[in-house]
Amino acid sequence: MTFNIETHLYQLLTQAHLKERTHLSGGIYLGNDRPDDSSLEDIILQCPQCLYKQKKATPPAPAQPFLTGEAQIIIYVPDKRVRMGRLGEQYISPRLRLRNLCEAIAVILRSSHLEGVTFTLSRQTLTPLPQIRQHAATLYLNFLTQGKE
């Protein structure tokens, strides 16, 4: 089921033309498919956790009616190189670009409607990655599917 959720998210973002609307310099990838040496703006879609929910005291059904879990949208953006006078050059966080990308994704998710799937934005984190001179913003989504997988 994790693959289905990742595919749903991929379709939501690509059908909303996120890459064109935000001028994303890289790509949108599923799972761990992002190139290791990428220095572009990339979006990774992952679903690391899925749980089948079932009412207590009911016999197991062949097709589970409810599935819940957490998905992640990870946005990588390269740090910006700036000139700092006599200090030389320094890399700084691309906070405004990360904010714009996060807001664009949130708008798409909030306005989306997938039959039988409900997404809720639960939290966001910002992680500096100094070894590759990038920052990553992670959007965490809780989801609930009803009916068919």
Name the burial class of residue 89, with classes exposed (0-12), middle (13-18) and buried (19+) by CB atoms within 10 angstroms of its CB: exposed
Look up the pTM and report it. 0.85
Q: What single-letter DSSP state applies at residue 133?
A: T
Tell me, what's the pLDDT at 149? 44
Closest CA to 90 of 133, 38, 143, 144: 133
At position 55, the amino acid (one-letter code) is K
Tell me, what's the pLDDT at 53? 65
Closest CA to 73 of 118, 116, 28: 28
CA distances from 128 to 76, 134, 139 (A): 10, 6, 15
State CA 76 to chain mean position distance: 10
Tell me, what's the pLDDT at 56? 64
State CA 67 to chain mean position distance: 19
Residues 113 and 61: their CA atoms lie apart, in Å, by: 27
Average pLDDT of adjacent 10-residue blocks, the chain of 149 residues:
83 92 95 92 90 64 70 95 85 94 94 80 94 96 74
Tell me, what's the pLDDT at 73? 96
Tell me, what's the pLDDT at 64? 55
Residues 84 and 65: their CA atoms lie apart, in Å, by: 58
Measured distance between the N- and C-terminal CA atoms of the chain, rounded to whole angstroms: 7
